[in-house]
Amino acid sequence: MTSTMQIALTRPDDWHLHLRDGDALATVLPHSARQFARAIVMPNLRPPVTTVAAATAYRARILAALPAGMAFEPLMTLYLTDSTPVDEIRRAVASEFVRAVKLYPAGATTNSDAGVTNLDRCAAVLTEMERSGLPLLVHGEVTDSKIDVFDREKVFIERVLKPLLVRYPGLKVVFEHITTRDAADFVAACGPNIAATITAHHLLYNRNAIFAGGLRPHYYCLPVLKREVHRQALLRAATSGNPRFFLGTDSAPHPRVSKEVDGGCAGCYTAHAALELYAEAFDAADALHRLEAFASFNGPDFYGLPRNTGSVTLVREAWRPPAAFAYLGGDTLVPLAAGELLRWKMRG
């Protein structure tokens, strides 16, 4: 058997990314800009990005932090709250750079305290989004502490997502960073206005990774890694050719001190090797030929944006990501797969 030695892809995009702000941008932004032409930038800053005015300023800070000679287009999002006014949705649509609105159920994950407590409070906003075609991006986990943490996505589908789609059948929804077979099956059975992003780490690892050889906090993210049956279902969905599944890294940097500590933060940092990690997963499933649509076509097609021109090349070459990057003055950022052998490397 001969194995492919290199693959060229139309320049891809990242449809779910945490870039943070301030000094953090200098470390993480070049990693994403090297691989991706555009990214949907998450609004969970402190304070969250709840207005077009705040998104405009945040976008300007991102562009100012971009190293000379690098091209990268941040696609901005608004953080939905119980009191987001309908006019903010109109301003978002008119801006042409705010591309989506993010629903964090209050308390579901990092910096989600200001999130939505009851979707009924957002009825007018959701009606306007349905009318104008602005997508709703959902962190799909219930926050009910009585529900087992491994079941919160599955329960979210029943309790929140299905009723939402009955009420707003034309709303464009991206079920973000899906982690279960239930979510993959649900999205596959939906109509053309429902899509999902899948991270590289949920394609590569199951929940055992968090405990292998001792507690490994850098494999802790939300929604948390699930059982192997779920990983396999995600891999099948990502490699199925269904255009409603696409790439979203959910690369979520936290300083080492905030990860390697009691009560450590959720989030895996993957921007340093995002494409390589996806290539690893697709290769293992014998589906490298499906990577380009997943990474470069399905996202822009769903969002109604043009596909990118230009290309990136991945070569079959063994390498190891560094143990850490310098981050925020004296701290470090530990990337996923730090020091592990990867078999694909992006050229350039």
Active-site residues, by number, are: 250
Which CB sits closer to ligand NCD, 98 or 252? 252
Which CB sits closer to ligand NCD, 109 or 308? 109
- Among the listed residues 89, 252, 274, 312, the single contact to ligand NCD using CB under 6 A: 252
Which CB sits closer to Zn ion, 128 or 141? 141
Terminal-residue alpha carbon distance, the chain = 28
Binding mask 183-212 toward ligand NCD (x if CB under 6 A, else -) reads ------------------------------
**95, 56 contact by CB (below 8 A):** yes
Total binding residues toward ligand NCD, as defined by CB under 6 A: 11
Q: Smallest distance from the beta carbon of 220 to ligand NCD, in angstroms? A: 7
Q: Smallest distance from the beta carbon of 16 to Zn ion, in angstroms? A: 6
Which CB sits closer to Zn ion, 9 or 24? 24
Which CB sits closer to ligand NCD, 193 or 199? 199
Q: Does 250 bind ligand NCD (CB under 6 A)?
A: yes
- Among the listed residues 59, 99, 139, 272, the single contact to ligand NCD using CB under 6 A: 139
- Among the listed residues 15, 17, 18, 78, the single contact to ligand NCD using CB under 6 A: 18
Which does residue 109 bind out of ligand NCD, Zn ion, none, counting CB within 5 to 8 angstroms by kind? ligand NCD
Rounded Cα distance, 163 and 6, in Å: 45
Rounded Cα distance, 244 and 238, in Å: 9
Binding mask 240-259 toward Zn ion (x if CB under 5 A, else -) reads ----------x---------
Strand pairing class (325-327; 331-333): antiparallel
Rounded Cα distance, 6 and 307, in Å: 22
Q: Does 221 bind ligand NCD (CB under 6 A)?
A: yes
Cα-Cα-Cα-Cα dihedral sign, residues 218, 160, 17, 297:
positive
C-alpha distance from residue 202 to each of 54, 141, 174, 227 (Å): 31, 16, 17, 10
Q: Smallest distance from the beta carbon of 267 to ligand NCD, in angstroms? A: 3
Q: Smallest distance from the beta carbon of 111 to ligand NCD, in angstroms? A: 6
Q: Which of positions 283-342 make contact with ligand NCD (CB under 6 A)?
A: none
Q: Does 222 bind ligand NCD (CB under 6 A)?
A: yes
Which does residue 110 bind out of ligand NCD, Zn ion, none, counting CB within 5 to 8 angstroms by kind? ligand NCD
Q: Smallest distance from the beta carbon of 138 to Zn ion, in angstroms? A: 11
For residue 292, which phi and psi values (nearest 5 degrees)? -65, -45
Which CB sits closer to Zn ion, 16 or 154? 16
- Among the listed residues 26, 190, 257, 266, the single contact to ligand NCD using CB under 6 A: 266
Which CB sits closer to Zn ion, 181 or 202? 202
Q: Smallest distance from the beta carbon of 173 to ligand NCD, in angstroms? A: 16
Residues binding Zn ion (CB under 5 A): 250
List contacts with ligand NCD (CB under 6 A). 18, 44, 109-110, 139, 221-222, 250, 252, 266-267
